[in-house]
């Protein structure tokens, strides 16, 4: 499970988007992207740990 979070975090780092804002699948980041409609998930950036998170962005699911 930890490996999945690492992969998701790394993929989120490659997405060019603003990272401020809410962290839900339907309203993600400063640009309020609907990740769910695009088949993606909203993840914390650069860490999924809420205390280390700077914001959120959409990321693809890779399992």
> If 0-12 CB within 10 Å is exposed, 13-18 middle and 19+ buried, where does residue 53 land?
middle
* 16/11 Cα distance (integer angstroms): 11
For the segment 4-45, what is each residue's pLDDT rounded down to a tens digit? 777 776 666 555 445 667 888 999 988 889 999 989 999 888
pTM above threshold 0.85: no
Number of domains comprising the chain: 1
For the segment 49-60, what is each residue's pLDDT rounded down to a tens digit? 878 888 888 888
Beta strands in the chain (DSSP E): 41-45, 55-59
Range of the domain at 55: 2-59
């Amino acid at each position: 499970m930890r490996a999945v979070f690492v992969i998701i975090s790394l993929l989120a780092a490659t997405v060019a988007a603003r990272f401020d804002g809410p962290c839900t699948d339907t309203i993600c980041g400063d640009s309020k992207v609907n990740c769910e409609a695009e088949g993606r998930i909203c993840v914390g950036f650069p860490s999924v740990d809420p205390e280390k998170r700077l914001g959120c962005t959409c990321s693809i699911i890779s399992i």
